[in-house]
Chains A and B, each alone.
Chain A
Amino acid sequence: MAFKAAPGPAHMEDIKGKVAIVGIGEAELSAASGRSLDDMTFTAIDAALADAGLAPDQVDGLMFSGQSAGQVTVERFRAHYGLKQDIWGSGRGGAFSFPAIAAYEAHAAIASGEASVILNVFGTNWASQHAADEGGPATAHLAEQMKANAEVVFGFIPQPVYFAHVARHHFEHYGTRPEQLGAIAVNLRRHANGHPGAVMRDKVLTLEKYLAREPFIDPLRLEDCCLISDGAGAYVMTAADRARDFPKRPVIVEGVGYGGAVEGIHFAMEPEFSSTPHRFSAPGAFAMAGLSPGDVDVLAVYDPFTIVALMAIEDLGFCPKGEAGRFVEGDRLAFDRGRAKGGLPFNTHGGMLSHSYLLGINHVVELVRQLRGEAANQVADASIAVYGGFSGVDAGTLIMRRG
């Protein structure tokens, strides 16, 4: 039931229509704030439970990121709310690819009777850590001994350096250009400008401004790289046949998929260097849902860099491989263009590039708002939404339907 990042696509049992998302919540998203991880995470949990009309003692399952430091685990959850009941727990939740596939393990727990109301939660204080010059996104890469001795010493660290190589490769092989990466940054900034929760809501970005700034890790510019944020998010899952018992319009999970990179964290050796494992995770998810990319009204993908967003669009099947550069030009990704006019509403909250770096859980929160019809940048009549989760070594695909 638990997935490790083995190369290629993972086999998954059909869970179409079995799981619903019935509550969402966030803590305020910000730059370095000094807020504690616990405070932010419990704020998000409180908001998700209120949204679902639940009290803490009605929760009997908790999914969190076992690979990330300081997360709210089952023990801390029980202690915080003074709970007596048994709580099923899984460390294969939280963020990265896991918001895409959490419903799969949640369904297994529901089907076996181990849990019935399951929270998926994630919080990060990387902005505060970064300001204090400790921790942060490169920590795991620096700690790996082969990378320390064969990459870091040559200056191949941190992630912006990796993805500058990936972008260069995409440029050289497919003719992708800087202004095409810029189109992603500009559209996502516009979404953030219209979103009350976005960290970059007050900062305008035009393509002229984007291009006027010199690359700092050439070919990447500052606006090609995601924010580093403090914040937290949470959502509540339950059996789809119980979803009507909750106050908000439910969102139904129609398909999930998962796949691993061929060479794991040794990115330099990845055979398809400027591709993502979305190419492994997406086909299974669309097959489970009985849908194709053409059916999707709104897409949100884990976007640490514009080049990753661009590759995700191709690897998820929204355009042929190598053509996403031309595909994303102009306003195609804008929330208000829509599929009928040839658009693809994309990261309508602004993504990690302009909303916040919450590692994907708030992408799912945003898509639930879209399917409920309560998003800030509402896509007209959105009924099918897809989240593409990513971690560098793996990817997950989540397909959701308005319930």
Chain B
Amino acid sequence: MSDPKPFPLPDLGNGEIAPLWRAASEHEFQLPRCGNCGAFDWYPKGECKQCHGRDIEWSKLSGRGTLFSWAIVKRALHKPLTPLAPYISAIIAIDEDPSTRFVTRLIDCDPADLHAGMPVEVRFVDLGYPAIETGIVAPLFTKNETNGRDER
């Protein structure tokens, strides 16, 4: 067997996604948004898809959303992710604009308990939670038991 491959980590210094990770380290959930009309620029294109403005800024969001879709990964096929499994891969529709979808993981949830439209909220924990420690703070999500509106 070959040596275990290192867990994939985000680039906090460079690239279009770095601001997401710098915000997460401050326990803020941010996505890029048009300064002119407020539309989200996700994934970042640097130009607003509504008004074609180029005044795009990373903005703090509520960190609330609904569960759009999910998969229970019992065995990771991408070898560097092996120690993470089993885990719940998830796509979240964010409350500020449900057509904007954020890829993340669900944590501390019972897989049998999930349904489309379930309210979720962000939790800032280690990217490898609960299996491994990476030293990177990540916006992972969990079921919002308190003030969410269930869309089902």
State the A residues within 8 Å of B (CB). Answer: 133, 138, 142, 145-146, 148-158, 160-161, 164-166, 168-169, 172-173, 214-220, 266, 268-269, 271, 273
Contact between A161 and B89, CB atoms less than 8 A apart: yes
The bracket for how many chain B residues form the interface is 35 or more
CB-CB under 8 A from A157, the residues of chain B are 78, 81
CB-CB under 8 A from A149, the residues of chain B are 10-11, 15-18, 20-21
Contact between A153 and B99, CB atoms less than 8 A apart: no
Q: Tell me the bound Cα distance from A159 to B138 in angstroms.
A: 23
Contact between A269 and B71, CB atoms less than 8 A apart: no
30 of the cross-chain contacts (CB-CB < 8 Å) are A138-B78, A145-B15, A146-B16, A146-B17, A149-B20, A150-B103, A152-B8, A153-B10, A154-B138, A155-B76, A155-B81, A160-B77, A161-B73, A161-B77, A165-B89, A165-B91, A168-B70, A172-B116, A173-B116, A215-B72, A215-B74, A217-B74, A217-B75, A218-B71, A218-B111, A266-B43, A268-B101, A269-B42, A269-B43, A269-B101
CB-CB under 8 A from B44, the residues of chain A are 146
Q: Which residue of B lies closest to A133 (CB)?
A: B2
CB-CB under 8 A from A217, the residues of chain B are 71-75, 77
Contact between A216 and B74, CB atoms less than 8 A apart: yes
From the candidates A142, A155, A269, name the one contacting B89 in the complex (CB within 8 A): A155
Q: Tell me the bound Cα distance from A161 to B90 in angstroms.
A: 10
From the candidates B11, B15, B17, B84, name the one contacting A155 in the complex (CB within 8 A): B84
Q: Tell me the bound Cα distance from A172 to B76 in angstroms.
A: 24
CB-CB under 8 A from B75, the residues of chain A are 216-217
Q: Tell me the bound Cα distance from A138 to B87 in angstroms.
A: 20
Contact between B68 and A169, CB atoms less than 8 A apart: yes
From the candidates A138, A152, A218, name the one contacting B72 in the complex (CB within 8 A): A218
CB-CB under 8 A from B101, the residues of chain A are 268-269
Q: Which residue of A lies closest to B139 (CB)?
A: A154
CB-CB under 8 A from B60, the residues of chain A are none
